[in-house]
Structure 1
């Protein structure tokens, strides 16, 4: 019994020791990426002196003149390797070039990082994009700490912003351009202010950040209005209309659309009116959910959209306006008015040669007659819809089912 106990204890000790040994030998999880090659400080034969630390060597003008063409040559070699299909070798050469560009100053390095970053992104080389982004962040941090003169900062921050755009880092890009924005505001450089705001606004929109874009375009609109720049004013109003539509800010959208409406009316630019009135009506309809009195304005603008579109023989837009009117009538329980508008919709879709829309109009009429329990008229409408469905080879089953559902008269 004692011998058996000793064996069990011995086995337990050996098992525990094996676990401990296995634990000690267990490999550590690898880093997501290996060390950033842009931070290597290995001596390079192209440098006149070996760097003792990560700080750039203070090169003489003559040394810079000799180094720059050598780095341009490295860029050409890397491009040739990539063209030949050797991406690994290409980025090894580019990384060497980028390490050496650091000795030409922050601006030259950032511009090179921006160029190679764009290539890395286009090649879907995520690892290289991360390396370049990390290096850009290090330069940004260093620049903020050094507080260089505003003129140098301005060019450097613009380059940083562009570089971040090239590696698709929108948040950092906006941070960089905001530094530019501060500088040009202080300098009261209106032209530079407008260009910077446009860059920031476009950057927000490219990443569908509409709420951040809104105040930027509001400021651009204010600047264009104050300077009497009519074309830009219209452009920014149109952009804001899209932004507020995307963010479902109906009241702000209305404010912008009404300004556009005044401009189009003063210009007698009727071609723009139907689409504009449809958007205005839609905003009033949204606001009408909490304030039903505004639905009158929705009806009014839908009707104006239809009338103007019909006058312009824009039958597609006219049909769209009628569909909105019908839906609004139905939501308010005004079946007779909806039915009347649906009959007009049939004429409109016929004029537009929109057979799919005509088929939908007959469906609308059939549903409305069903609500009124006027079954023969409903049946006729669905049969006309089926005829079109058969021609279009679309929704045939649907209309067949609708016809079956219509109550038959009792004789």
Structure 2
């Protein structure tokens, strides 16, 4: 009986293995159907190239004209909404462009690749990117120093939104322009590398690139670009959540704008410095005072410059700081300044919020009559704005009910 059971189990196991093998083979065939060979690799003879011999200059010019006509035909076809037919024409053009040289082929791949990406033709994008990578591999093996070709290849990857592939190409471009001591070319290439890193949120690498650009600008005495790179670094460090690095850059910008007497920029910079100190204070509470000081400086400078909206923003932060320290009286005093500031800024939503804030502060201080007055003032503005009327009415009714009790 036991032997018979073993035999049955063995038979079932073999049967399962056979079925699995058959299914695996079928899946492979299905995959082949799903991912056919690239149309760019078709080797069927083409009527435009009847002979396999090398073409004369006149024949090459004729071929170029014929291929330009194919491109126009594809453009007309896609406008008629026959995308499949259009890309069939373009693929034929791309196959034949190889005869005109690698640069001509890459430029054509770039042009059609951008159209494919815009039309969301994923398979076509894949075919073209595969061909571009083959070309890149060949260039690397040959240790190509053809700068125009490398730049064309990088541009193709950019148009097809392939930043990682583009970066590998522009790193090679950077080596070549540095070897040629082409400072202008180096700067332009670094800018491209920085933009590509930013396009896929690689903030650490982007920061390294813009720091190099900043150093180049400082060495050349290029004040305009020095300022531009500092602003870009401030953005990168903020987005990359590197508060200390951001503070250093914002502080440098404050120095520059102050020395140039361009004081209009100072309030926004001080707000940014304060916000970054506030972020650092989560781990190091001793830095709260630095945040507070910068919010005060932001308010003072904004008020002097009559930037009342910025001043209001700084005051809101100061009030929040006072409340966190349980300094309710100081928060109330600052809130009264906020009322004046929002009035001057003609920020009625801000004014309504300020009265709400004052009402809640008075509630914390158990000064219910003053809280009621604040909420009533808030309701008047809410009625004008037709916004949050129910909230202020509820707060007022609640306080009146408590007074009766």
Compute the TM-score of the two structures, normalised by the length of structure 1: 0.88
Once residues 66 and 22 of structure 1 are traced to their aligned partners in structure 2, the CA distance between those partners, rounded to angstroms, is 54
Residue 211 of structure 1 deviates from its aligned partner by: 2.6
**Residue 85 of structure 2 corresponds to residue 89 of structure 1:** yes
Q: Which residue of 1 aligns with 2:4?
A: none
Once residues 21 and 108 of structure 1 are traced to their aligned partners in structure 2, the CA distance between those partners, rounded to angstroms, is 48
Secondary structure in structure 1 of the residue aligned to 2:45: coil
Once residues 20 and 267 of structure 1 are traced to their aligned partners in structure 2, the CA distance between those partners, rounded to angstroms, is 80
Partner residue of 1:71 out of 67, 74, 95? 67
Residue 122 of structure 1 deviates from its aligned partner by: 1.7
Partner residue of 2:205 out of 205, 212, 215? 212
Q: Deviations over 1:281-305 (max 9, x none)?
A: 1112222223333222222221121
Partner residue of 1:161 out of 154, 163, 171? 154
Q: Which residue of 2 aligns with 1:4?
A: none
Once residues 219 and 234 of structure 2 are traced to their aligned partners in structure 1, the CA distance between those partners, rounded to angstroms, is 20
**Residue 391 of structure 2 corresponds to residue 398 of structure 1:** yes
Q: Which residue of 1 aligns with 2:40?
A: 38
Superposition RMSD in Å? 2.5
- The answer to whether the 8 Å contact 1:278/1:305 transfers is yes
Q: Which residue of 2 aligns with 1:272?
A: 265
Q: Which residue of 2 aligns with 1:408?
A: 402
Q: Which residue of 2 aligns with 1:201?
A: 194
Residue 369 of structure 1 deviates from its aligned partner by: 1.2
**Residue 322 of structure 2 corresponds to residue 329 of structure 1:** yes
- The answer to whether the 8 Å contact 1:363/1:381 transfers is yes
**Residue 378 of structure 2 corresponds to residue 385 of structure 1:** yes
Partner residue of 1:178 out of 171, 177, 180? 171
- The answer to whether the 8 Å contact 1:48/1:63 transfers is no
**Residue 97 of structure 2 corresponds to residue 101 of structure 1:** yes
Residue 279 of structure 1 deviates from its aligned partner by: 0.6
Between the two proteins, the alignment pairs up a number of residues equal to 389
- The answer to whether the 8 Å contact 1:161/1:176 transfers is yes
Residue 65 of structure 1 deviates from its aligned partner by: 2.8
Once residues 228 and 211 of structure 2 are traced to their aligned partners in structure 1, the CA distance between those partners, rounded to angstroms, is 12
**Residue 258 of structure 2 corresponds to residue 257 of structure 1:** no
- Any gaps of 5 or more consecutive residues in structure 2? 1-7
- For residues 142-161 of structure 1, what are the structure 2 equivalents within 5 Å? 142-148=138-144, 150=145, 152=146, 154-161=147-154
**Residue 236 of structure 2 corresponds to residue 235 of structure 1:** no
Q: Deviations over 1:180-199 (max 9, x none)?
A: 11111222211111000111
Q: Deviations over 1:307-361 (max 9, x none)?
A: 2211222111111111111111212222221111111001111111111101110
Partner residue of 2:340 out of 334, 343, 347? 347
Note closer, same or farther for the CA distance 1:44–1:405 as it changes in structure 2 (3 Å cut). Answer: same
